């Protein structure tokens, strides 16, 4: 798994979040999740997301957005798969 591709997905997700017709609280939660993932990925492969609860937060966000915002949910699912492929 190429971390650069994952960072590109995170950038795409940031753009989608900015365009979402949701309240500030939901938008802030999504941005915080993306920031946490990005920060952890910058820590090096041996430290990536260890016990940070990121997968659970991603799963929760997918459930929240999959009906009304399928594009965002799809990006979140793709990120989940990529993180799982690197052992997260």
Q: With contact defined as beta carbons under 8 Å apart, do 82 and 6 qualify?
A: yes
The contacts of residue 35 (CB under 8 Å, 6+ apart) are none
Residue 22: pLDDT band (50, 70, 90) is: confident
Taking the model in full, what pTM does it have? 0.76
The contacts of residue 15 (CB under 8 Å, 6+ apart) are none
Q: What is the mean pLDDT of the chain?
A: 81
**Total H helices, total E strands in the chain:** 4, 0
């Amino acid at each position: 798994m190429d971390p650069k591709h994952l960072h590109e997905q995170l950038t795409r997700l940031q753009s989608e979040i900015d365009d979402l017709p949701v309240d500030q609280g939901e938008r802030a939660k999504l941005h915080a999740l993306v920031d946490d993932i990005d920060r952890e990925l910058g820590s090096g492969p041996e430290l990536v997301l260890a016990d940070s609860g990121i997968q659970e937060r991603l799963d929760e966000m997918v459930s929240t957005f999959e009906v009304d915002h399928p594009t965002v949910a799809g990006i979140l699912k793709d990120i989940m798969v990529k993180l799982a492929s690197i052992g997260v």
